[in-house]
Structure 1
Amino acid sequence: MSNEDPVFGVDSVPFMANSYDAAWKLYQASKPVLEEKLSEQGLQLLYTVPWPPQGIYAKKDINTIDDLKGLKFRAYNASTERMAQLAGAVPTQVEVPDLPTAFSTGRVEAMITSPSTGANSKAWDFLSHYYDTQAWLPKNMVIVNKRAFDGLSDAEKAAVLEAAAAAETRGWEASKAETADKTKILEDNGIKVSAPSDALQSSLQDIGATMVGEWKDSAGDDGAVIVEAFSK
């Protein structure tokens, strides 16, 4: 959706919001702008649910940003490609079904994705380390036709919005449970799961600051409004 408007990519800016609490705060800061953009397209936002946060997978220890330099790093969109470039890695496009072969043959040596993708692709068969960087928490949105929604009675609208709010709360909690469950599966199957070192985290935050600035420039006034609201 960010191809239509950079605002829609706000939840995929690396290291802008790297926890569930920060992701919720960013959602609240960006929600009015998102609702306005969707309304212009005849759409009504009902609720969102985040994917589990993105972490770094590798075949070796990644203690500092220098350990990523020169590594063939799986990139699956413009944001991950830019992040790899800033880290000094070599962006390499690989689709999820091809991950086992790509890692086994050396076509890719590191990647960033969720613990769910790691567990579902049995990452322990082809790599050894997972760093819980919580780089970003991309969201799914549930939307409806605005004209149809506006045609409902006040009581019907209230009922839909009440159900949406309940689904949103349930969905965010389910995402947290999914993250914990899939991270444990990674660990149980022999992957070394750890938090990034202070040195690595600091360098990643620097990359994040650069990418936040680039996103803010691309999103114009709307980006500035969101960043200001998120910073409060």
Structure 2
Amino acid sequence: MTKLMTSFIALSAALSSSAFAQQVTLNLSNEYAANSIHGVGDARFANAVADETNGEVEIVVHYGGALGYKSADHFDAVSVGALEIADTYGGALGGIDPLFLVSSLPFLVTTVEEAKLLYEVSEDKFQRIFEDNDQILLYASPWPPSGLWGKEPLDSQAALEGVKIRTYDKNGATALNELGANAVRMSWADVVPAISTGAIDAVLSSAEGGISSSFGDYYDTYTEIYNYAIPLNFVHMSRFVFDELTDQQQEGILRAAERVSLENWAAVPDRLEETYKELDEQNITVVDTSDPDFRNALQDAGETTLEKWLEDTGVEGEKIIKEFKEKRNE
């Protein structure tokens, strides 16, 4: 019997026995650390759910992949009810549907406000995908802008040549390979071991992601690359589990999700400020790329990545980009 099926049977039994009880405990899986921006967001959500349901629903958050699931495992696990709730990096869902990669398209957005607008024009598509797979999209939250962690500045195309860089999804692999790097797609849980063994030379991630996972133990340079992307994490819940809750519990969870979504988006500027203080305290050099030739090369790589994404997503992808650009220019 598979791990998913065993977990599903156990969950069914637990829900059946507690269907008429007021107190419900639900598990939330997150591959990232408790002190990461999404770890903090999950704790915020757990507190909001307790508040909105008058303590009837308890969310227990499991950080750092403690339940044995990486982001790439979450979708299937939640779909069959083996996991009640998961907080999942969107790039890991690109194999489910390439529309999930829209938030990591290089240089499409350069501010949190633009990232939120892009999510808003895409949200109904994401909701449909989750619903079609017996899940509910509770909310999505952003990462701060991505850059490059390494042992030296990565502020030119020549500096990237042949460098083995961990990227978080297909878009990153396309863009970085276009620039001459050797891009390696890798789950977050595998990044620090790969750094420590020298399997990779650099990491595409936010400054915040590197700080929360102690990249300063290995790297002393963070290169900003024009707010490369502001990707999203999705918090999604099993439809089976949700339907077993009382109406009041369901409404409380949805209210908590709406509340926390707003708080998470609003938290990014302060989180960025805190992160840059940490970079300074750890003597990590922040490199500001200013070479116009490099900037043009980055933009070209971004255009190539967008074209390939549109090939994968077709009409739906075109509609999202068109609507986003129209609303951005209003």
- Do the aligned partners of residues 163 and 87 (structure 1) sit closer, same or farther apart at CA in structure 2, a change above 3 Å counting? same
Distance 2:160 2:278 in 1: 25
| Equivalent in the alignment of 2:63 | none
Alignment of 1:132-143 (within 5 A): 132-133=224-225, 134-143=227-236
| Equivalent in the alignment of 1:176 | 269
| Equivalent in the alignment of 2:193 | 98
- The structure, 1 or 2, with the larger RCO (C-alpha pairs under 8 Å, 6+ apart) is 1
Give the Å deviation of 1:59.
2.3
Distance 1:77 1:169 in 2: 26
Asked whether the 8 Å contact 1:57–1:130 carries over to 2, the reply is yes
Compute the TM-score of the two structures, normalised by the length of structure 1.
0.83
Q: Return 29-38 or 199-208, whichever deviates more.
A: 199-208
| Secondary structure of the structure 2 residue equivalent to 1:187 | helix
| Equivalent in the alignment of 2:237 | 144
2:309 to 198, 203, 215: 215
Compute the TM-score of the two structures, normalised by the length of structure 2.
0.61
| Secondary structure of the structure 2 residue equivalent to 1:70 | coil
Task: Provide the alpha-carbon RMSD of the alignment.
Answer: 2.7
Which residue identity does 1:7 align to in structure 2? L
Distance 1:212 1:219 in 2: 10
Number of matched pairs: 228
Q: Which has the larger radius of gyration?
A: 2
Distance 1:149 1:143 in 2: 14
| Secondary structure of the structure 2 residue equivalent to 1:46 | strand
Give the Å deviation of 1:188.
1.9
- Do the aligned partners of residues 160 and 212 (structure 1) sit closer, same or farther apart at CA in structure 2, a change above 3 Å counting? same
Deviations 1:1-55 (A, max 9, x none): 2111111221222222232112111101111211222222233322111122211
Distance 2:231 2:222 in 1: 19
Distance 1:150 1:32 in 2: 24
Give the Å deviation of 1:156.
7.1
Which residue identity does 2:278 align to in structure 1? I
| Equivalent in the alignment of 1:29 | 121
Alignment of 1:10-159 (within 5 A): 10-92=102-184, 95-103=190-198, 107-133=199-225, 134-146=227-239, 148=242
- Do the aligned partners of residues 33 and 150 (structure 1) sit closer, same or farther apart at CA in structure 2, a change above 3 Å counting? farther
Please, which runs of 5 or more residues in structure 1 have no aligned partner? none
Asked whether the 8 Å contact 2:94–2:101 carries over to 1, the reply is yes
